[in-house]
Every structure is written in C-alpha cells, then in structure tokens.
C-alpha cells in the first residue's frame, strides 16, 4: 500500500459507500431497527412543525383575536405537542441505541477477525510487519473503519425527513419552498468540496497514528537497551518527530473542519431568514396564512441540525476508507500454513523425529518493515539459502544436540521442527507423519519449543507456566522440579501465586528461562526442542536439568525426544548424538567424543566455547574476590578507627 501522504483518491466517497454497504450487510436487522427509529424521528420532526402551525392558526391567533380561549383547546394543543415529542424521543433513543450496538459489534467482530488472522498467518508474515503497525490495524484502524456507523442511521433518516419536508413545504407554498430549497444544493456542493479537501489530510493522519504506535512500541520494547546506552534523548527525539507530525496532521484536519463547519452551520440559518423574508411578503399579500409561515419557518429551523448528519458521515468517510484498506490488507494476506486432518500419535510415548533433505531460504524484509530477513515462502527457490539438504533422525526418547557456529541455521531448524514455518523442500516427520499433514493444533499437542528469547507475561508463576492449561498444582510443581525452578519458586513470597511483573522483570535471566522450560514441560510433550534455552543458567544447573529430562524418559509421563541447541561441552556430552551444522549443512554426526576426533571445525568450536566459559568464570571469581577484599578492608579500617 502506498504511503498515505501520497494517496489522493477522487473516488473516496464511492469507496466509502462500499464500506458502509459491508456494514449494512453484516448487521441488517440492527441497521433496519436503527433506520426505523431514525425514520420515526424524521416523521415526528415534520409533524412537530405541522402541529405548531395548526396550534398557531387554530388556537393562538383566535385567542388573541377574541381575548379568550377554552381549556379544551389548550388541552388539545398541549396533548398533540406532547404526543409528537414523545414519539420523537422514542425515535431518537432507538436510533442512537441500535446505531451504537451496530458500531460496537462491527468493531468487536473485526478486531476478532484481525486477531484470528494474525494467529493464522505464518511467522514469515509477522517478520515483515512491525508490531506497532499490527496493533494499529487491530485498534485504531478498526475504529476508523466504522466511525461513520453512528451518524449513518441519522443520515438515512435525514433523507427520509427531507422527502417528507419537501412535500409538506411544497403543499404549503411553492414560492417559499423554492427559496428554501436553494439551501440544499449549496450544502451538497460544500460537502463535496469539504470531503475532497479533508480526504488526503485525514489519510495522512491515520497513517501517522500507526507510525507513532510503531516508534512507541519499539522504544518500550528496547527500554533496557535505550537506558543502558544512554539513548533516551535520541529515542525521545525520534518519538517527538512522529508525534509532532501527527499533531500537525490532526491540526490540519481540525483547520479544515473549522473552516467548513461554520459554513455548514450557517447555510440552513440563512435559508430560514430567506424563508421568513419572502414569507412575510407572501403573508402581507394574503397568499399564505400565519400558521403556514410558522410551519415552514419552523420546519427549516429543525432541518438545519439533522442535515449536518450528512456532513458527519462524509467527514468520516476518508478515515473509514483508509482504515478499511489497512484492515483488508491484513484480512486478505496470504501465506497461512495449510493443515491436513491427521491426528498426533498416542500420548505418553516419546516421538520419533525424522528430518529429510530439508532446504530453507530467507528473503529480505519488505521496504519500511524494519531490518533483518524473513522466511521465504515455501517452494520458492529465491532468497538467501540457510539450510541445505539437512537430514538426520532421532529415535524415541533420544537426546540430540545441534551444534554449530553463529549463522549456521540452528534456530531456523528449531522453527521447522515445531512447524512455525515450512521448508521450501524436504520434510519433517513425527512418527512417520509429515507435519504438513497434521491437523491444526496437532503439532502443538505433540511438540514444545523453548526459544532463545524468553517471554513471561505480567501474571503469576502459575499463570505463566500453565498459560490457561487446566492442570493440578502437583503437575505444575513437577514441571518446576524438572526445570530446576522448584526451589526459587517455593522461596517466593506467594509461591505459585507470585506475580512476576512485565516480561518477568522481578526475576533473573536464569529464573525466567527455567520458568519458560517448565511451561513446555507441564504439557508433557513427546518432542521437546530447546533453542539455547539454558544460556543464562549455571552450567551445573543446566546439567541437572538435562539429567532430569533423561530420567523423566522412563518416568510416568513417558518422557520425550529432546533436541537441544547447545554450546557447552558438558551439555553436549550428555546427548546421545550430536548433529554438527556448518553453513547450513550437516557436516558431522555422531557421538561427542567421535566428532572431537573426526571434525576439526567441531573440535575448534567446542573448545572455543569452553575457553570462553572458563574466562568468564575466572572474571566472575576475580570480581567476587575483589569485592570480598574491599569489604574486608572496610571492616578492618572501621575496627582500627574504633580502636
């Protein structure tokens, strides 16, 4: 979609009417009820003028001429006015209630539709679209699409009112009607000019709302980076630039509305003055009665406000069209993963994993969607190839360690194993079934992934582990024990009911990783994929976690086949087999000791990792010793001062 600032569509009104027709087809019954309420209001508005004209001619003027009136005449006039006012109030209430129901139901329905589409679309699509833009699509854009719904029944009622009023005024006096009707084409012409002036400016403002949301989301997500690198001023300036652009765009919208609104407000009043002027002349000549003049003048007075509803609808149409295009871009997006009707194998048994000649490519991210790369569509041979004919197998209950240098395709491989994306060629099989043939949700019931980046919700420990899964606390504690998280959770103030803060802010990195691992284990997966999921955990704790997983393979839960992306030698040594990736290819397979002898690349990489860990441990020990020495000197100095 081209930038909104460059988009000036001369057919915005036609497109807007198409959007409104979608709303009418979606909620025909509620729309009909709201229009009926508006029609009742319109009819009673005209009836009010008729009743006032009748009361003036038949009750008020005779009372002035004779000097007295009867209680029956006053009661009749009052009753007629009250009845018309009551029906008019019922029409207003019905119109507003059903219009509001229609608007909010459409907004809720399309928010759900956009969200469901987000869940259906593959990870590749999400990589091409910033999170801030997706939030704007589901919120601000959906609201903008259905903004004209609230005044729409009123506008339809106005059309009905104008027809009734036109007939009534023409039957009263043709000359006065001709003068008054000059107002309507003037209002229509000004509305057309208004809509054309407002369209590009409103479109620009709608686009900037999404951009402000994107910048704000990035700044909040990267808050730790911003603060540690002292980039607060730069981020503030970046946000200020977009926010001020949005401010200027909204001011431009307000300036146009401020220019046209008084004109639209004044025209009907000018029409009333013209009607009174010509009507007075006609009254003096005897061509019309005082009651007729009151009827016509009051009718034009009442019409001046409802006619504005047409302007409200037209004023919201540009934003509605822009929002519709952005929402439809999501709803019409392709690339969702196809599913079969196969069911996962019987629970309680570790899965057999087979990876056969898998190839996978990345393509550059779309313009304006951020940096980095995104998974290429399956079957498309273009793009940067990451995996080349990768093949290996894991027997049920075995532990496979995937090792390789940075950029060798390890994380991409883990995404394929749980079907976040599909390979361009080749296949991934669980118990002999291609993942593409498994029904929707079947892979999630069988396999669990613990990714590199741990995400915790602002919820309790229990809520973060279960994520809505209905399991007893005993099972939660079992998962925490396997993940070596039982101890620190039990020490928390409220145990499982302790809230961990946004993204687990109250926990350390290692604790967050262990909770994420427990989240996967509580589901008792048959295939467990760990993508460097214990990088923030002490090597001793990591070894105990893997040992717990091996012990659980013969336990009551049936265990799982484990694929772990690892770099520590102690962790790799616990695996039954190692798959060594280099430049997206499997260049070595076998036991850890065998690969150390046969593969120079593997040996150099693992030894480099071990050396880095050793240096890190020495630095931590040195830091602790230095801190202890400083504390000792402080204590000794204090004792000397006391002496």
Q: What is the pLDDT of residues 92-125, one digit of tens each?
A: 888 889 888 888 888 888 889 888 888 878 777 7
Contacts 24+ apart (CB under 8 A), 264-269: 264/187, 264/190, 264/191, 264/194, 264/307, 264/308, 264/311, 265/304, 265/308, 267/183, 267/186, 267/187, 267/190, 268/183, 268/187, 268/300, 268/301, 268/303, 268/304, 268/305, 268/307, 269/304
The number of residues making up the chain comes to 643
Q: Determine the Cα–Cα distance for residues 76 and 59; give it in Å rounded to an integer.
A: 9
Q: Which segment of 13-17, 402-406, 572-576, 586-590 scores lowest on mean pLDDT?
A: 13-17
CA atoms within 13 Å, Cβ hemisphere of 625: 6
Model confidence band, residue 619 (pLDDT cutoffs 50, 70, 90): low
Helices (H) and strands (E) in the chain, counts: 24, 11
Task: Answer positive or negative: Cα dihedral of 465, 468, 474, 475.
Answer: negative
For a pLDDT cut of 70, what percent of the chain falls above it? 80
Q: Which residues pair with 531 in a beta bridge?
A: 565
Mapped onto helix, strand or coil, the DSSP state of residue 565 is strand
Q: Which comes out higher in pLDDT, residue 270 or 87?
A: 87
Q: Where are the alpha helices (DSSP H) in 467-552?
A: 473-482, 486-491, 509-521, 539-552
Residue 434 per-residue DSSP state: E
How many Cβ atoms from other residues are within 10 Å of residue 178's Cβ? 12
**Range(s) of the chain covered by CATH 3.40.50.300:** 353-603
Q: Provide the strand spans (E) within 200-319.
A: none
Q: Which residues pair with 579 in a beta bridge?
A: 402, 589
Strand pairing class (585-590; 577-582):
antiparallel
Residues 6+ apart with CB under 8 A from 372: 127, 365
Residue 479 pLDDT: 84
| pLDDT > 50? residue 578 | yes
Please, is 25 exposed, middle or buried when counting C-beta atoms within 10 Å of its C-beta (0-12, 13-18, 19+)? exposed
Q: Are 588 and 597 in contact (CB under 8 A)?
A: no
| pLDDT > 50? residue 24 | yes
Q: Are 54 and 176 in contact (CB under 8 A)?
A: no
pLDDT digits (tens, 9 = 90+) for 227-271: 777 777 888 888 888 888 888 888 888 888 777 777 776 777 777
Residues 6+ apart with CB under 8 A from 303: 45, 161, 162, 165, 268
CATH architecture of 353-603: 3-Layer(aba) Sandwich (3.40)
Q: Determine the Cα–Cα distance for residues 395 and 408; give it in Å rounded to an integer.
A: 24
pLDDT digits (tens, 9 = 90+) for 364-386: 444 333 333 444 444 444 456 78
| pLDDT > 70? residue 614 | no
Q: Tokens in use for 267?
A: 């025209």
Q: Determine the Cα–Cα distance for residues 388 and 391; give it in Å rounded to an integer.
A: 9
| pLDDT > 60? residue 288 | yes
Q: Whole-number mean pLDDT of the chain?
A: 75
Q: Which comes out higher in pLDDT, residue 118 or 176?
A: 118
How many Cβ atoms from other residues are within 10 Å of residue 500's Cβ? 21
Q: Measuring CA to CA, how many Å separate 410 from each of 17, 227, 361, 403?
A: 51, 31, 13, 7
pTM over 0.85, yes/no: no
Q: Tokens in use for 227?
A: 């603060």
Residue 347 pLDDT: 60
Q: Determine the Cα–Cα distance for residues 628 and 504; give it in Å rounded to an integer.
A: 30
Residue 612 pLDDT: 60
Q: Determine the Cα–Cα distance for residues 71 and 420; give it in Å rounded to an integer.
A: 82
Residues 6+ apart with CB under 8 A from 198: 253, 256, 257, 315, 318
Q: Are 482 and 521 in contact (CB under 8 A)?
A: yes
Q: Where are the alpha helices (DSSP H) in 68-130?
A: 71-120, 123-127
- Mean pLDDT, to the nearest integer, of 611-633? 54
CA atoms within 13 Å, Cβ hemisphere of 616: 10
pLDDT digits (tens, 9 = 90+) for 499-553: 877 777 777 877 888 888 888 888 888 888 888 776 667 667 777 777 777 666 5
pLDDT digits (tens, 9 = 90+) for 152-164: 887 777 777 777 7
pLDDT digits (tens, 9 = 90+) for 187-196: 767 777 776 7
Comparing CA positions, the residue from 352, 305, 318, 34 lying closest to residue 194 is: 318
| pLDDT > 80? residue 574 | no
Strand pairing class (577-582; 399-403):
parallel
Residue 638 pLDDT: 42
Q: Are 309 and 268 in contact (CB under 8 A)?
A: no
Q: Determine the Cα–Cα distance for residues 470 and 489; give it in Å rounded to an integer.
A: 20
Residue 459 pLDDT: 81
pLDDT digits (tens, 9 = 90+) for 388-398: 888 888 888 88
Residue 381 pLDDT: 44
Residue 293 pLDDT: 74
| pLDDT > 60? residue 55 | yes
**Range(s) of the chain covered by CATH 1.20.1560.10:** 17-331
Q: Are 430 and 446 in contact (CB under 8 A)?
A: yes
Write out 161-216 in H/E/C secondary structure.
HHHHHHHHHHHHCHHHHHHHHCHHHHHHHHHHHHHHHHHHHHHHHHHHHHHHHHHH
pLDDT digits (tens, 9 = 90+) for 136-152: 788 878 888 888 887 78
Task: Return the CATH class of domain 17-331.
Answer: mainly alpha
Q: Determine the Cα–Cα distance for residues 269 and 264; give it in Å rounded to an integer.
A: 9
Q: Determine the Cα–Cα distance for residues 444 and 337; give it in Å rounded to an integer.
A: 14
Q: Tokens in use for 393?
A: 């197998």
Q: Are 461 and 498 in contact (CB under 8 A)?
A: yes
Residues 6+ apart with CB under 8 A from 544: 484
Q: How far is CA 275 from the centre of its chain?
A: 52
Model confidence band, residue 6 (pLDDT cutoffs 50, 70, 90): very low
Mapped onto helix, strand or coil, the DSSP state of residue 599 is coil
Comparing CA positions, the residue from 518, 511, 476 lying closest to residue 491 is: 511
Q: Determine the Cα–Cα distance for residues 557 and 534; give it in Å rounded to an integer.
A: 22
| pLDDT > 80? residue 200 | no
| pLDDT > 60? residue 622 | no
Q: Which comes out higher in pLDDT, residue 554 or 34?
A: 34
Q: Are 321 and 15 in contact (CB under 8 A)?
A: yes
Q: Are 357 and 425 in contact (CB under 8 A)?
A: yes
pLDDT digits (tens, 9 = 90+) for 428-467: 888 888 888 888 878 888 888 888 778 888 888 888 888 8
Q: What are the φ/ψ torsions at residue 560 (nearest 5 degrees)?
A: -150, 155
Q: Determine the Cα–Cα distance for residues 178 and 189; give it in Å rounded to an integer.
A: 18
């Amino acid at each position: 979609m081209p930038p909104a600032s460059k988009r000036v569509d001369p057919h915005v009104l036609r497109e807007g009417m198409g959007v409104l027709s979608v709303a009418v087809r979606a909620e025909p019954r509620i729309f009909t009820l709201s229009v009926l309420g508006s029609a009742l209001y319109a009819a009673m508005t005209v009836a009010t003028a008729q009743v006032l004209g009748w009361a003036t001619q038949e009750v008020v003027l005779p009372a002035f001429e004779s000097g007295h009136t009867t209680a029956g005449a006053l009661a009749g006039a009052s009753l007629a006015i009250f009845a018309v006012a009551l029906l008019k109030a019922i029409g207003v209430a019905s119109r507003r209630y059903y219009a509001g129901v229609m608007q909010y139901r459409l907004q809720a329905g399309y928010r759900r539709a956009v969200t469901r589409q987000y869940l259906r679309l593959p990870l590749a699509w999400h990589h091409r679209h910033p999170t801030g833009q997706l939030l704007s699509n589901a919120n601000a854009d959906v609201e903008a699409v259905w903004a004209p719904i609230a005044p729409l029944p009123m506008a339809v009622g106005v059309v009905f009112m104008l027809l009734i009023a036109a007939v009534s005024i023409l039957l009263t006096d043709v000359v006065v009607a001709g003068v008054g009707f000059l107002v309507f084409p003037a209002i229509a012409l000004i509305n057309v000019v208004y809509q054309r002036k407002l369209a590009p400016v409103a479109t620009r403002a709608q686009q900037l709302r999404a951009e402000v949301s994107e910048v704000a989301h990035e700044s909040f997500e990267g808050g730790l980076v911003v603060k540690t690198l002292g980039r607060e001023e730069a981020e503030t300036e970046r946000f200020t630039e977009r926010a001020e652009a949005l401010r200027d765009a909204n001011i431009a919208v307000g300036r146009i509305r401020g220019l046209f609104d008084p004109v639209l407000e004044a025209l009907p009043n000018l029409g009333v003055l013209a009607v009174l002027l010509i009507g007075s002349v006609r009254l003096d000549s005897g061509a019309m009665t005082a009651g007729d003049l009151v009827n016509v003048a009051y009718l034009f007075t009442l019409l001046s406000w409802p006619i504005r509803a047409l302007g409200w609808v037209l004023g919201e149409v540009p934003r509605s069209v822009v929002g519709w295009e952005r929402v439809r871009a999501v709803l019409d997006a392709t690339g969702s993963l196809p599913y079969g009707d196969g069911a996962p194998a019987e629970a309680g048994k570790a899965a057999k994993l087979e990876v056969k000649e898998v190839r996978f490519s990345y393509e550059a991210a779309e313009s304006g969607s951020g940096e980095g790369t995104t998974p290429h569509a399956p079957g498309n041979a273009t793009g940067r190839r990451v995996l080349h004919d990768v093949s290996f197998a894991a027997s049920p209950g075995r532990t496979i360690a995937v090792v390789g240098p940075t950029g060798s395709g390890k994380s991409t491989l883990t995404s394929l194993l749980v079907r976040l994306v599909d390979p361009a060629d080749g296949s991934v099989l669980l118990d002999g079934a291609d993942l593409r043939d498994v029904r929707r949700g079947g892979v999630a019931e069988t396999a669990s992934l613990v990714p590199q980046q741990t995400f915790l919700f602002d919820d309790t420990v229990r809520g973060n582990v279960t994520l809505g899964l209905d399991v007893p606390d005993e099972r939660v504690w079992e998962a925490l024990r396997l993940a070596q998280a039982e101890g620190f959770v039990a020490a928390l103030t409220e145990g499982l009911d302790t809230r961990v803060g946004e993204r687990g802010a109250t926990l350390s990195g290692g604790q967050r990783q262990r909770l994420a691992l427990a989240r996967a284990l509580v589901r008792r997966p048959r295939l467990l994929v760990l993508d460097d999921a214990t990088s923030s955990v002490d090597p001793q704790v990591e070894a105990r976690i893997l040992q717990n997983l091996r012990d659980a393979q013969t336990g009551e839960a049936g265990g799982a086949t484990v694929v772990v992306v690892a770099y520590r030698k102690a962790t790799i040594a616990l695996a039954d087999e190692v798959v060594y990736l280099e430049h997206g290819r499997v260049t070595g397979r076998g036991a850890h000791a065998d690969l150390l002898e046969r593969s120079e690349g593997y040996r150099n990489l693992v030894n480099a990792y071990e050396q880095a860990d050793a240096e890190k441990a020495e630095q931590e020990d040195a830091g602790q010793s230095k801190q202890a020495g400083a504390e000792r000197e402080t204590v000794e100095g204090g004792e000397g001062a006391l002496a």
